[in-house]
Amino acid sequence: MDGTRETKVTFNQSAEFGEAVLAGLKGFQRKTAEYAFKRLYRAEDSTRRFLIADEVGLGKTLVAAGVIAEAIDHLREEGVPRIDVIYICSNQAIARQNVDRIRHHLPIETKPLAERITLLPYRLDALKEVNLIALTPGTSFNSASAEGIVEERVILFRMLTEAWGDLGHNARLVFLGGLRNVARFKEYEDSYEDRRVDQSIVE
């Protein structure tokens, strides 16, 4: 882990683990994490964004773990019921590697998400108190085509149906995309029938 000593912390509802995670960092990594957290959350002129730029291999991922740990402590003190950490990475291989590093240092059970962001309506009910959600351009922001993928179109159709009632045959034609007919679209509808769509997104 970039030359740092490993830290194992027990997570419970009342414990603060930011300090324990920071204790596992090198001095310059800890100072960077503490300063970034202060600028984001504690400073009177706090900011919504902070850039850390240095040489490759100096432990920016571990600094991120320190900032995340302190932020989780802070947000739980503020009474935030669910904390979502969104990690955007250039590709899936790097995302898997870095997310594993972060999760190793954070004693929390996270809900990893490394797929298309448009599928969130099917996933939100499975999220936990603290979630580390990894998104990459290839899996989350690439539309694949102007029509999207079948599962995305089925989600949209199902949400519209919940809001407005059965839209009928002609409405399904709008969502066919590359499918050959409405019957094929209905097969996909039926196959996803047991998946609950998050009501907050429907609303």
Compute the average pLDDT of residues 68-92.
86
Q: Categorize the per-residue pLDDT at 126 as very low, low, confident or very high, splitting at 50, 70 and 90.
A: low
Higher pLDDT pick, 141 / 84: 84
Confidence of residue 125 (pLDDT cuts 50, 70, 90): low
Least reliable range by pLDDT among 100-104, 155-159, 190-194: 100-104
Longest dimension (CA), the chain: 64
In the predicted model, what is the mean pLDDT of the chain?
Answer: 79
Task: Give strand pairing partners of 134.
Answer: 87
Tens digits of per-residue pLDDT, 143-167? 556 677 888 888 889 889 888 998 8
Q: What is the pLDDT of residue 9?
A: 34
What are the pLDDT digits (tens) for 45-62? 999 999 999 888 898 989
Percent of the chain scored above 70 by pLDDT?
80
Looking at residue 109, what is its pLDDT?
61
- Give the three-class secondary structure for 88: strand
Does residue 115 sit in helix, strand or coil? coil
Q: 2, 22, 6: which is closest to 104 by C-alpha?
A: 6
Question: By 3-state DSSP, what share of the chain in percent is helix, strand and coil, each rounded to 5?
Answer: 50, 5, 45
